[in-house]
Amino acid sequence: MEWLNYHHLLYFWTVVREGGVMLASKKLRLRQPTVTGQIRELERSLGEKLFERVGRKLVLTEVGAYVYRYADEIFTLGQQLQDGLRGRPSVAPRKLVVGVAEVMPKLIAHRLLEPALRSREDVRLICTEGPVEHLLAELALHEVDLVLADSPVPPASSVRAYNHLLGECGMTLFAVPKLAAALRRGFPKSLDGAPFLMPSDATSVRRALTQWLAEEQDVRPRIRGEFQDSALMMAFGQAGEGVFPGPSAIEGEIRTQYGVEVVGRVEAVREHFYAITAERRLRHPAVVAISEAARTRLFQRA
């Protein structure tokens, strides 16, 4: 049996955490050539390159990112062992790293992720945000456990990932009370020429909403703003700048948080929400809790 050299693994872990060989050498109180040589020995024993040089920087390879996640768990557990022996017992929370697509409504993301913190197992939630393509790349590198998105993985994507539909709901249109009261009469024809705030073209709901307005209702609102961040769009709506859409599943939260009223509901425009993982079956207990809560509570009546 070939044994892993944990000294070499420690040097590698420190280089990643400190952001380079020079800083890691200072932390370890070793010469830079020594640290570099030990990492090369680790690469030789694993038979894989852990870093690649991009300009003057060292960047983790896909295998390097995979090894780092295990190293981080190993040395974090080691620290906890030492703390326990010194009379500071602690049980490490299990990490759940979630990538949230930047176009996802933040209130929906919160409602979806909240059950992870209420599960029987102690969980430390780590959230990142960005374009879906970037998050899927991180999923492939095992840098995130889960991606939340409003659309499934594109068929042409090179990333091997699995879509888990968490639920779907209709669309509700909101506005400040005075504007909502005026537009509620004669809805949806009343939207023709009305001030409107739209999600960006990057969202699936934008395309569906545009089609519903123009082709099915033959109305053309006056678009006053387009937003990639749903929270920013709702803030402008709160200020009275126009009608804005939101998922019907969180209608109550939107009304309470932003002080707005319902203009009308559009069941024909459906929003879908997905958990995307690198595994076909959901195994992480917190991810299972997220899925079950979404299906049985959040989207049950939506």
Q: What is the pLDDT of residue 179?
A: 97
Q: What is the pLDDT of residue 1?
A: 44
> DSSP state, 138?
H
CB distance 36 to 19 below 8 Å: no
* H-run or E-run covering 261: strand 261-277
CATH 3.90.180.10 correct for 168-271 = no
Token duo for residue 299: 């989207």
The helix/strand/coil state of 194 is coil
Q: Which residues of the chain have pLDDT under 70?
A: 1-2, 80, 83-84, 87-92, 300-302
CB distance 236 to 242 below 8 Å: yes
| Separation CA 301–CA 281 (nearest Å) | 25
**Taking the C-alpha atoms of 137, 142, 144 and 145 in order, what is their torsion angle to the nearest 10 degrees?**
120
Q: What is the pLDDT of residue 183?
A: 97
Q: What is the pLDDT of residue 177?
A: 97
Residues of the chain with CATH 1.10.10.10: 6-85
Q: What is the pLDDT of residue 147?
A: 96
pTM for the full model? Answer: 0.69
pLDDT in tens, 203-224: 888 989 999 999 999 999 999 9
pLDDT in tens, 153-184: 988 788 889 999 999 999 999 999 999 999 99
CB distance 173 to 213 below 8 Å: no
Q: What is the pLDDT of residue 53?
A: 83
**Taking the C-alpha atoms of 141, 144, 145 and 150 in order, what is their torsion angle to the nearest 10 degrees?**
-110
The CATH classification number of 94-166+273-298 equals: 3.40.190.10
Q: What is the pLDDT of residue 301?
A: 55
Q: What is the pLDDT of residue 55?
A: 77
Number of H helices, E strands in the chain: 11, 10
Residues of the chain with CATH 3.40.190.10: 94-166+273-298, 168-271
Architecture of domain 6-85: Orthogonal Bundle (1.10)
